[in-house]
Amino acid sequence: MGQPKLFNLQPGEPNLRDYQHGQRLFREGDLRLAPKVKFLYHVVFNINSTALKGLDFKYKHQNEINMLVKAAELPKIALQTETLNQYNRKKVVNIKVDYQPVTIRFHDDNFGVVGQLWYNYFHYYYGDTSAADTAGAYNRTAMREKAMVKGQFGLDNGSSIPFFTSIDIYQLAKKAWYKYKLINPVVTQWNHDSLDSSSSQPSEQTMTLAYESIGYETGIIRNGNPPGFSQEHYDLTPSPYSSHPNFRRAATTPTALGGGSSIFGQGGILSSIGGILDAVGNGALNTPAGFLATAAAAVNTYQNVKSLSKDQAIGQLKGVAATAINRTVTQGISGQQNYAFPVNVQNTITKAVSGIVGGRGG
């Protein structure tokens, strides 16, 4: 038998490497195809002010209700079909659509904000709550004249407009929101949990909702959108990482973008590109001043990319590569904990930089 034939590898090429299907699917394109995570959400309860027992609840606790949602189901749609015979050929046709009930669970807070939401809802539609506080309302008066009835009961409460105009469930990912709008939702069940002296589990309250339709919408996360998000009890203290040059946040105004000649940091290339995209998403191009500012930022970024050599870019990226990889494994990609997607770091950095600066040498 002859000597085994060896492959003729090019100098510098690895002798063995793994396939990068997962990395190319989930990590490329700024993680655009990475799965969303369940804990990134925000719920907004749109309540008719005239339906509240007192406006104090709306102005003091409207946003707090949104933040006390512990878990929320997204809408479920059941489509009913029927199979017909068309000259002995099976034909499936749509018959109707059923919107399945959804459940929202709340933290049962010490102050009773969630309890006030239920009290206002129940008091608006049903007279039983007021009657329960009226002396003699529940006396045995079935055989007495009408004058003996001390209160109003059940739906005899004069409610005419919906308590909730809608309940909006926002799913959050990559600085964007995806809204599921429940139209004219009605509470079909409310559970006050149970008490148990042997348990230390947090108490919760649960509502089940029926609704008439679903609206879908997408948008960019910014101040006041979604309503109430990052406003009530939100920690605005900057992170210690914000002072580190490799972790500075991108500038928020297009006019400050594109001034640096590095990849990372304030005014760096990546910050500039992200800021330009944010400006477009936030509608900055809708005004002449915004258009000119964004255009200037794009020109500055292009000039800096041209001036940055391939070797300089690789050197900057290598400085943070190891830290970034360790953080990805522990913190997870897009929130996925303890998942590591294989990637050839050296080749990935070289290819990425070559794409940015045109493959020039140092």
Report whether 75 contacts 182 (CB < 8 A).
Answer: yes
pLDDT the model gives residue 339: 53
- Rounded to an integer, what distance in angstroms lies between the CA atom of residue 63 and that of residue 233? 10
Same domain, 249 and 214: no
Q: What is the DSSP letter of 106?
A: E
pLDDT the model gives residue 106: 96
Q: What is the DSSP letter of 4?
A: P
9 inside domain: no
357 has a pLDDT exceeding 70: no
Same domain, 250 and 187: no
| 41-48 mean pLDDT | 92
25 inside domain: no
Number of structural domains the chain divides into? 2
81 has a pLDDT exceeding 80: yes
Q: Where is pLDDT greater, at 69 or 2?
A: 69
Report whether 269 contacts 260 (CB < 8 A).
Answer: yes
Q: Is 350 exposed, middle or buried (0-12, 13-18, 19+ CB in 10 A)?
A: middle
Same domain, 149 and 273: no
- Write down the pTM of the prediction: 0.61
| 113-119 mean pLDDT | 89
Instruction: Return the number of other C-beta atoms located less than 10 Å from residue 317's C-beta.
Output: 18
236 inside domain: no
Lowest mean pLDDT among 15-29, 64-78, 180-194: 15-29
pLDDT the model gives residue 123: 83
Residue ending a domain, among 204, 220, 236, is: 220
| 255-270 mean pLDDT | 47
Give me the CATH number covering residue 159: 2.30.110
214 inside domain: yes
Same domain, 53 and 199: yes
Same domain, 193 and 321: no
- Rounded to an integer, what distance in angstroms lies between the CA atom of residue 295 and that of residue 258? 10
23 inside domain: no
Please write down the HEC assignment for all residues of 291-336: HHHHHHHHHHHHHHHHHCCHHHHHHHHHHHHHHHHHHHHHHCECCE
Q: What is the DSSP letter of 194?
A: -
- Rounded to an integer, what distance in angstroms lies between the CA atom of residue 309 and that of residue 64? 51
pLDDT the model gives residue 170: 96
Same domain, 72 and 108: yes
Same domain, 191 and 281: no
Same domain, 215 and 278: no
Same domain, 177 and 296: no
323 has a pLDDT exceeding 70: no
Same domain, 186 and 105: yes
Same domain, 177 and 305: no
Same domain, 117 and 254: no
Residue 108 structural domain: 41-220
326 has a pLDDT exceeding 70: no
161 has a pLDDT exceeding 80: yes
**Confidence band (pLDDT; 50, 70, 90) for 281?**
low
Q: Where is pLDDT greater, at 64 or 266?
A: 64
Q: Is the peptide bond before 4 cis (omega within 30 degrees of 0)?
A: no
Q: What is the DSSP letter of 264?
A: S
